[in-house]
Structure 1
């Protein structure tokens, strides 16, 4: 979906300079009449205002039209509308005072696409007459001056407003406003409102909505788009209220709010020229004298009638979680919730697209998505309306295609620096290594065609400020409305639901796990529990409420907090002390994974958040407190552990706690719990998960789900190596915390040990001949199954899948960014304190991967019982090639590259010596191992010789090895 998000505000502001569409402040739309274009380009006055007697009379213009009367009290509406339904024609009279007003146009695709109902965009505009034409103009709000008169005059002259379009005036109502052809405006110039939408035949357009109220009008047309699809385009015109008493509040980096920002070129002090306001609602006490008062005007949400009745109470509960936060700042029942219901007719007259109403909308589109956008006043940051979208796909997630999911999981938390390096070193890239062999050449060719990407393809570098929802960073930059981009909370919930379905199926006949045992505490789902769509209500209900609370938080102005899950240790989360009483993380604004306890505490704790957390209370206190004198003391609580905060742009940094989908104060405990969970389910796939009459393909699906647990745990722990905790404290805040604190060496080593044991050991994958013989696949040539039916072999590709995971684990450990961070942390740590060093990291990885050279085991070795297993041979070859890459000039960038290269070369020399020793005088080595070690020796020799030829001291680009090895197969290198 596309929507136009246009910059707006007073006439003293500039557009975002990185958007080509608005890069020129005086840009004029094509097709303007020559006289008007010349007048606008010259910046001269518009001339005398048009008079009513210059036009035909109103009754002549509106002949055959019917006036729209929506106001029961007879008051005039904001725009006066006339419609002629037989041919979809509509006229509108602008307000009499239109020249002194700022208008807001909210845009929604209301039907005809998978995400219909999601806010598409908005415009903050004013109308200006030029003889017999009206121009729709976007005020410039990005640059202002609140300084001396000279700076104000300069800013007004340099940063002018922008004409978006123009339209003829049909007539002017005496003592009223100009009349325009509304369908010519909204359909004839639809691309100005909905970029990308093309109407196939305007004559087939029909009016779906035409409602006029005192401060807004709602207009919608159903049109055939260029592919024939019927879509409903909804336009909401409203008056931006002024002088409402709303006071903007300055943003502070210690608390995560969406912001409305501008440059003030009248200020010169450091840090003053960029002004940021938080986005929030205008809430006031009905009685300011009371400590706790009802609001003068509450935030009212309507739950759309399309929401399944069985889920409505949980949606409502998630909304109302937030009232406790507002009560702490003195407002009771700040949020009110009502059900729209088709059966009773309750609130069915309200359109969700109407800007006066806030809706939670439910889409049955089989996509796992939730998003909570809001529209804001671009001058002050005041939130004007919100519409939350929930979809059903995450609830119906029976399993995930984990070989589409695994590359995403493996890349979680990678920095732009790492992604840029992977882009030029595809043999390191999990997106290539985990792809099916048949797809790799295509992926490499596509990558070569597109060339380098900004920020290495990091989502922040792919932002299109006109779009919403295609990218997690859309809505965070370049927009005025707060749309928070692609919120992935529902995607995580779909993995949670799939994991729970796996868990429930596996424990169905396990008395120790399903609550049937007399000794088992009543803390897990029972077989006879009430189910909602096949899942116990006690799980899916709170999970839905948690998701709703997350999205409501966005509509209140709050950004993600990906550090909130670090409040409690896992053992305490699964304790009587917390269960059902205290939320187990600091915030619902994190992507908190489902809590399935596998021997990590005394009870099965809450599966999900049961209310908002302490950080949420604190954030609302800062944003909505009425006593501005308390703001300083509120912010000084930043060092309290339960108020930890990090957001989207922090997830690619060095802080291992600033990440999505991790859990507990010490995520190593959670990672080990996930591996216990994986081992438990792998042992029960054949007997419990697949039942009589079901396809054996389900065993494959279940196993791949456990690989998801495993890769997520590996990725989570890899972030600890070279990590540094980042604090947002300011100088003088209580606690006197350093902004950067190196992760203790003991924690880094524990993380490294976890990865070695769970990625490089053959037993870590739980594979057996019995399981492998039953991991088949179903093939259907319909819908989304067509590609997998051709691409997936019935026999699971063992070596290819495992080396893909192991190669990704090596990337997590040995990519240049991680190695640089380890190297830099050595300098940050005093010399008399323990630190994980580069030599230790490289040597530990090498020793773990080449263990057979130091401890060859007992022979004799044969083809069937080789000295080094096939999985380990693949891993060793992969590791060898990674070391060679690191010795090359393009093995990294920056000052750390040289020591990394020399240490990698030293590792190669030591490996060569070990391989030579293993081959000397041993006749009982099997052919597989002998060939493998001979090839390793030869490769090392050639690599070291090549370095002499290519002169590694030269910083110019240098040839790399000519082959990329995928396990036991070779593919051409793209470099």
Structure 2
């Protein structure tokens, strides 16, 4: 009984306590249920705009008011404060991509979902559109929990979304072997100065810290504490453009970028893949007028952080595009201004030309935020590496050699650097107008700023260097034709398809050519007129001209190329681009060997589709290439070598100086190896070798691989042996020739016909070596013995044999990236 009473009393106490708690909580719970967004956010700072959002200063949180469910908008992320390493590619201003997204609600959850615009049904039939939408996966980018709901408005905590690694920097650092990193929430926060709201776009920014264990040299070189990498990430919610933009069908001959998708509503007799041009919206106020002002001009803004001289050069170069728009009948359609002082460069409303700093000189590039539905460019974003002008200044120092005691320093270096900046600005802005590279423009009087231009250098009658025509000072003829095609606004009633075809036909009639990246960048590419950093109408003729110029430069090269009080060893930095001034023209000339002229022809457009390079032109290119690896070409003047001491303290070797086999001392043999090795690798590239065989089989007047190899061996190994320095250079080239032959024969990815002919040449060379060695002495005999030993290694271990690669040339193109995409 006592036990029962005790339990009863205990039960009643707990019941009363519970009842009391419920009495206190229920009114509170009811208040919570009835709480609206206004009362919940009354103590927060409200930022009204496209999506209203609220700043909770006490908690450091952003709350977003979602009032547009199932309404699509554009989501863009970018990197306003970067890492500073060109090799890593995580630059200030880098755009992470643009996606169409929408919010959907399910119970207490709000999802940010990305529809799949790669697959569509452009149809008025809702069921047809739905069938395609349900056939392909979508992506939920993030999930939120509804905090408060007022009618059809929902308040969510956006902070976790903003403080995540939206740029996937941790993955990029891992893939580049820099270390394993993760987002450190305690060291990340909303960056309020650039978190803003506007009627058509809501902008958010955060300080993001990635913590980990640094492993790579690149990340260590650019962070004060490489285990803690702090950047800023920007995210934008942007209202999609209206439906008044008129899409333009892509043509592969136009020189523009394209966006493509599959349209499953397409009739079966039409192509299902649709391709649209990438371009800005531009309309004439009067489309019937030959010249009209635009409804709204395209305006670009230059970075306020660029030095004044640089700002002016960037404005001038970018403004060249107005010449092209004028040729298309627009007045003041393209404008360039300084960015307003209170503007945010990441704001979607501003097309930006920004000046980006890195630890090494790097690529510049032009990107665009586009509407994935139509290809309309919403924002152009140009990033120009700030160290590029210094490299151009360095090249000019080598050419002009201006530092003479007691004489004023020439202004030619500054003029050259600024001329290059103008061209660079025009080039990268061109990408953000929708244009691709055109790597055949150099053969047509530099017809496009969308080519990669070397400085055009010549000799005056007195033997001095002439830089007066180093770079173009205006937009090119090809550029005008391309803008006419991409941006012409046709009068009502015009048959636009026919008018566009007429523009392209006239462009072809005027002799303009267009070949882009995939046909120019690969070392084994075939088009003899498509290359980066080349010049002249004929690659072989220009290489011969450039080699004669190089000889003059090297003969006169001296300490006048470096500033007063600079360490003598730093002559090497200026010497590198002079010694290798022919490097890109060499690669261009190599494409004539086993080359093929071709066009992006459409059926019945009148263009020649393909055409062999004439045999005489190929042999001329062969001779020009051999001229770059002769001992006379590779040798440096003795008086110059004597002036290059070992590197002093504080001036170590870098990516932009020659390698060395001789320890601390300057090694002219290593410099020669890097140059000659590059020429031979271009000449004996596997795809080029395969084409030589194929083209000879189809037309026996074509050179063929075996005659090329025979002549190569005859001019190197079997040529009369020289003595001294040039003799050593000759033997160095002999070894490189054999290495390339062995590499070709051992390359399992090369065509078997190529490997078999390489093997035949190696066997013939071996027989010649065995016959020659009894009479040989000294270094010549050593050269033969070493060659035979390499051949024996290959014969004994054909599957495992891999000869040592020749030394690489110092970096020429901007450091750290083999393929910049759309940059230069």
TM-score between both structures, scaled by the size of structure 1: 0.69
Match of 2:702 among 835, 848, 852: 835
Q: Could you say which residue in structure 2 is the equivalent of 1:110? A: 80
State the distance in 1 between where 2:405 and 2:623 align. 34
Contact kept? 2:659, 2:667, Cα under 8 Å? no
Q: Could you say which residue in structure 2 is the equivalent of 1:609? A: 472
Q: Could you say which residue in structure 1 is the equivalent of 2:729? A: 871
Contact kept? 1:222, 1:233, Cα under 8 Å? yes
Shift of 1:223: 4.3
Q: Could you say which residue in structure 1 is the equivalent of 2:141? A: 164
State the distance in 1 between where 2:587 and 2:300 align. 39
State the distance in 2 between where 1:866 and 1:590 align. 43
Shift of 1:61: 1.4
Correspondence list, 1:346-361, <5 A:
347-361=340-354
Correspondence list, 1:697-716, <5 A:
697-716=569-588
Contact kept? 1:144, 1:263, Cα under 8 Å? yes
Match of 2:712 among 819, 823, 845: 845
Relative to structure 1, the CA distance from residue 801 to residue 327 in structure 2 (aligned partners, 3 Å threshold; closer, same or farther) is closer
Shift of 1:92: 2.1
Greater alpha carbon shift after TM alignment, 217-226 vs 125-134: 217-226
Contact kept? 2:165, 2:208, Cα under 8 Å? no
Relative to structure 1, the CA distance from residue 587 to residue 810 in structure 2 (aligned partners, 3 Å threshold; closer, same or farther) is same
Relative to structure 1, the CA distance from residue 779 to residue 788 in structure 2 (aligned partners, 3 Å threshold; closer, same or farther) is farther
Alignment pair present for 1:540 and 2:412: no
Deviations 1:705-731 (A, max 9, x none): 223214333322222111111212223
State the distance in 1 between where 2:347 and 2:559 align. 54
Contact kept? 2:303, 2:311, Cα under 8 Å? no
Alignment pair present for 1:179 and 2:159: no
Contact kept? 2:634, 2:729, Cα under 8 Å? no
Relative to structure 1, the CA distance from residue 184 to residue 769 in structure 2 (aligned partners, 3 Å threshold; closer, same or farther) is closer
Alignment pair present for 1:85 and 2:57: yes
Correspondence list, 1:28-107, <5 A:
56-68=35-47, 77-95=49-67, 98-107=68-77
Shift of 1:306: 0.8
State the distance in 1 between where 2:393 and 2:364 align. 15
Alignment pair present for 1:363 and 2:352: no
Shift of 1:86: 4.2
Q: Could you say which residue in structure 2 is the equivalent of 1:465? A: none
Alignment pair present for 1:596 and 2:454: no
- Secondary structure of the structure 2 residue equivalent to 1:643: coil
Q: Could you say which residue in structure 1 is the equivalent of 2:751? A: 893
What is the root-mean-square deviation in Å for CA atoms of aligned residues? 3.5
Contact kept? 2:75, 2:100, Cα under 8 Å? yes
Alignment pair present for 1:681 and 2:542: no
Count residues with an aligned counterpart. Answer: 732
State the distance in 1 between where 2:305 and 2:783 align. 62
- Secondary structure of the structure 1 residue equivalent to 2:401: helix
Correspondence list, 1:481-496, <5 A:
496=392
Contact kept? 1:373, 1:387, Cα under 8 Å? yes
Contact kept? 1:368, 1:394, Cα under 8 Å? yes
Match of 2:640 among 738, 753, 771: 771
Contact kept? 2:721, 2:730, Cα under 8 Å? no
Relative to structure 1, the CA distance from residue 171 to residue 802 in structure 2 (aligned partners, 3 Å threshold; closer, same or farther) is same
TM-score between both structures, scaled by the size of structure 2: 0.81
Shift of 1:966: 6.8
Greater alpha carbon shift after TM alignment, 223-232 vs 838-847: 223-232
Deviations 1:650-704 (A, max 9, x none): 1132102111111111122332232233222222223533576432213333332
Contact kept? 2:79, 2:234, Cα under 8 Å? yes
Alignment pair present for 1:729 and 2:601: yes
Relative to structure 1, the CA distance from residue 507 to residue 671 in structure 2 (aligned partners, 3 Å threshold; closer, same or farther) is farther
Deviations 1:846-888 (A, max 9, x none): 1100344xx568xxxxxxx579922222332443454455556
Deviations 1:762-791 (A, max 9, x none): 111232443323222324458996999998
Deviations 1:46-98 (A, max 9, x none): xxxxxx996522233113212225xxxxxxx3111222334422222123xx1
Deviations 1:496-543 (A, max 9, x none): 432212112169699xxxxxxxxxxxxxxx967657xxx333x23322
State the distance in 2 between where 1:931 and 1:106 align. 64
Contact kept? 1:133, 1:167, Cα under 8 Å? yes
- Secondary structure of the structure 2 residue equivalent to 1:846: helix
State the distance in 2 between where 1:868 and 1:296 align. 68
Relative to structure 1, the CA distance from residue 692 to residue 225 in structure 2 (aligned partners, 3 Å threshold; closer, same or farther) is closer
- Secondary structure of the structure 1 residue equivalent to 2:292: coil
Match of 1:648 among 514, 517, 524: 517
Deviations 1:558-612 (A, max 9, x none): 01111111113xxxxxxxxxxxxxxxx1100010111111369997552112111
Relative to structure 1, the CA distance from residue 757 to residue 181 in structure 2 (aligned partners, 3 Å threshold; closer, same or farther) is same
Contact kept? 1:101, 1:239, Cα under 8 Å? no
State the distance in 2 between where 1:657 and 1:747 align. 12
Q: Could you say which residue in structure 2 is the equivalent of 1:279? A: 278
Relative to structure 1, the CA distance from residue 311 to residue 787 in structure 2 (aligned partners, 3 Å threshold; closer, same or farther) is closer
Alignment pair present for 1:556 and 2:433: yes
State the distance in 1 between where 2:725 and 2:346 align. 68
- Secondary structure of the structure 2 residue equivalent to 1:260: strand
- Where do 5+ consecutive residues of structure 1 fail to align? 1-51, 70-76, 341-346, 398-495, 511-525, 569-584, 858-864, 951-957, 968-975
Match of 2:390 among 396, 412, 420: 396
Q: Could you say which residue in structure 2 is the equivalent of 1:670? A: 542
State the distance in 2 between where 1:821 and 1:939 align. 27
State the distance in 2 between where 1:866 and 1:667 align. 33
Shift of 1:639: 3.4
State the distance in 1 between where 2:747 and 2:414 align. 56
Q: Could you say which residue in structure 2 is the equivalent of 1:384? A: 378
State the distance in 2 between where 1:194 and 1:530 align. 42
Deviations 1:451-477 (A, max 9, x none): xxxxxxxxxxxxxxxxxxxxxxxxxxx
State the distance in 1 between where 2:716 and 2:116 align. 60
- Secondary structure of the structure 1 residue equivalent to 2:567: coil
Contact kept? 2:397, 2:561, Cα under 8 Å? no
Alignment pair present for 1:307 and 2:292: no
Contact kept? 1:292, 1:330, Cα under 8 Å? yes
